[in-house]
């Protein structure tokens, strides 16, 4: 996993509508909370996404961007976003190239670790948490980020 102080690698991935979204574009308006999650519609990932959805008014008021990355297709992301009314960007990394760049592959290169990064507009990673089962730790990072901004 990339550490605090590291430079976040650039990427471009399709969003839930199939439109390309880059790291630079996400950072154009301020700091970014970028989170990686294993799969749409799984119990833990749904709970995490809904926690972020519920925090979204605070995220907006702090001028933070929020985006999630997982290996599912844009169509899966669109269904997930629509079912749970997620007001943030979901990005599709079906080839897992961004997952590898951010060093969040699962054991033996299988799956995706649950990780959340706070990235400054200059692409410096300011905070990070990796906790596969302790989903509340990811929401706590978002709350810290909101309190700082």
At a CB cut-off of 8 Å and minimum separation 6, what does 55 contact?
139, 142, 143, 146
Would you tell me the crossing angle of helices 74-84 and 43-61 to the nearest 10 degrees? 70
97 annotated active-site: no
Say if residues 51 and 135 touch (Cβ distance below 8 Å).
yes
Rounded to an integer, what distance in angstroms lies between the CA atom of residue 66 and that of residue 90?
Answer: 9
Q: Which of 13, 32, 45, 129 is catalytic?
A: 45
Tokens 């899966």 identify what position? 76
Alpha-carbon distance values, 34 to 73, 86, 108 (Å): 18, 15, 23
Q: What amino acid positions are annotated as catalytic residues?
A: 45
């Amino acid at each position: 996993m990339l550490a605090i102080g590291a430079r976040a690698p650039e990427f471009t991935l399709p969003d839930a509508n199939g439109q390309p979204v880059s790291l630079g574009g996400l950072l154009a308006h301020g700091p970014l909370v970028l989170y990686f999650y294993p799969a749409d519609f799984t119990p833990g990932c749904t709970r995490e996404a809904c926690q972020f959805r519920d925090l979204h008014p605070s995220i907006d008021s702090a001028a933070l961007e929020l985006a999630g990355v997982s290996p599912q297709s844009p169509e899966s992301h669109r269904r997930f976003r629509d079912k749970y009314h997620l007001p943030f960007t979901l990005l599709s990394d079906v080839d897992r190239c961004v997952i590898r760049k951010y060093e969040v592959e699962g054991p033996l290169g299988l799956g995706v670790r649950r990780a959340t990064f706070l990235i400054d507009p200059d692409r410096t990673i300011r905070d990070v948490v990796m906790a596969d089962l302790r989903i509340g730790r990811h929401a706590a990072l978002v709350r810290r980020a909101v309190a700082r901004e």
